[in-house]
Amino acid sequence: MSEANNYISPTEIFTVARAKQTENIFFRKELKKFSSIIIDEQVKKLMLHFYNEIDCTKCANCCKHLEPGIEDNEIEKLAEKKGMDVIEFRRTFVDFDGEALFLKTKPCMFLSDNKCSIYDSRPQACALYPHLEQEHFKYKKNVWSNYSICPIVFEVIEALKLELKFEYKNS
Ligand code: SF4
Ligand code: SF4
C-alpha cells in the first residue's frame, strides 16, 4: 500500500496532518464556495478509488487509536464475543461521553493481528468508518478529524485539493 504507491503511511500520518492543520483550515473555507452536491460526488468517487488502493489490514489506525462508538443493543453481542457476562462487560469496557456509548479500550480489544476478530459482528460505527459517505462532507467535523488518523481520509482530501486546484501559500 503506502510504500509502493507513495501514499501517506499509517505511522507518518500524525506528523504530516499536524503540519497541514492551517492549510486545511483554508481549504475548508475554500470548500464553502462549492455546493455540497458537487463536493459529495467528488468525495464519493475519490473514496471508492482509495478504498481499492489502501489496504486496511496494513494500517488499523482506527482500531488502534480510536474508541469506537456502540449502540446499547450491540453490547450483548460484544460481551458474548468477549466471553463475558453482559453486566460485567458493560462495567469494564463501556463508557458514556454525554452523547454516546463507546468501547473504552485502545487499541480495541477485538483487534488481532491488525484485523478485526469480530468483523461480521463489529459495531455499526466501525462498519461505517471513516464516514466519508455522509452528506454535506464539507461540514462534517467528525470526518475531518479522521484526516490525522485514516490514510483513506487523508488521501481523499489531498486528492480533492488537487481536483479543485486549491493552492495554499504559507507566507
Ligand atoms: S470492533 Fe473491530 S473494527 Fe471496531 S474498533 Fe474493534 S477491532 Fe476495529
Ligand atoms: S479505515 Fe482508515 S484508519 Fe482504518 S484501517 Fe482503513 S485506512 Fe486505516
| Res 2 pLDDT > 50 | no
Q: What is the DSSP string of 102-162?
A: EE--SS-TTEETTEETTGGG--HHHHHTT-TTSSSGGG-HHHHGGGGT-HHHHHHHHHHHH
Q: CB neighbours (10 Å) of residue 87?
A: 10
Pairwise CA distance, residues 63 & 47, whole Å: 19
Tell how far the Cα of 67 is from the centroid of ligand 1, in angstroms: 9
∠119-142-164 over CA atoms, to 5°?
110
Tell how far the Cα of 171 is from the centroid of ligand 2, in angstroms: 33
Nearest CA to ligand 1 atom 5: 63
| Res 31 pLDDT > 90 | yes
Average pLDDT of the chain to the nearest whole number = 94
Tell how far the Cα of 150 is from the centroid of ligand 2, in angstroms: 5
> Nearest bound ligand to CA 8?
2
| Res 1 pLDDT > 50 | no
Cβ contact 2:150 at 8 Å: no
Tell me the per-residue pLDDT of 127-149, one tens digit each, with 9 for 90 and over: 999 999 989 998 898 889 999 99
75-82 and 86-93 are packed helices; what angle lies between their axes, rounded to 10 degrees? 100
Q: Which carries the bigger pLDDT value, residue 141 or residue 95?
A: 95
pTM: 0.93
Q: Ligand 1 within 6 A of 109 CB? A: no
| Res 94 pLDDT > 70 | yes
Q: What whole-number percentage of the chain has pLDDT above 90?
A: 88
Question: Given this model, what pLDDT does residue 163 score?
Answer: 96
Determine the average pLDDT of the residues in 36-42: 95
Q: Ligand 2 within 6 A of 66 CB? A: no
| Res 95 pLDDT > 90 | yes
Q: Ligand 1 within 6 A of 70 CB? A: no
Cβ contact 51:152 at 8 Å: yes
Q: What whole-number percentage of the chain has pLDDT above 70?
A: 97
| Spans of all domains in the chain | 2-58+130-163, 69-128
Within a 13 Å sphere around the CA of 34, how many CA atoms are in the beta-carbon half?
Answer: 23
| Res 169 pLDDT > 90 | no
Residue with cell 494500517: 59
Cell readout for 145 is 478529524
Question: Given this model, what pLDDT does residue 171 score?
Answer: 61
Determine the average pLDDT of the residues in 15-38: 95
Nearest CA to ligand 2 atom 4: 62
Tell me the per-residue pLDDT of 101-126, one tens digit each, with 9 for 90 and over: 999 999 999 999 999 999 999 999 99
Tell how far the Cα of 137 is from the centroid of ligand 2, in angstroms: 18
Residue ranges with strand state E in 50-123: 69-70, 94-96, 101-103, 111-112, 115-116
Tell how far the Cα of 113 is from the centroid of ligand 1, in angstroms: 12
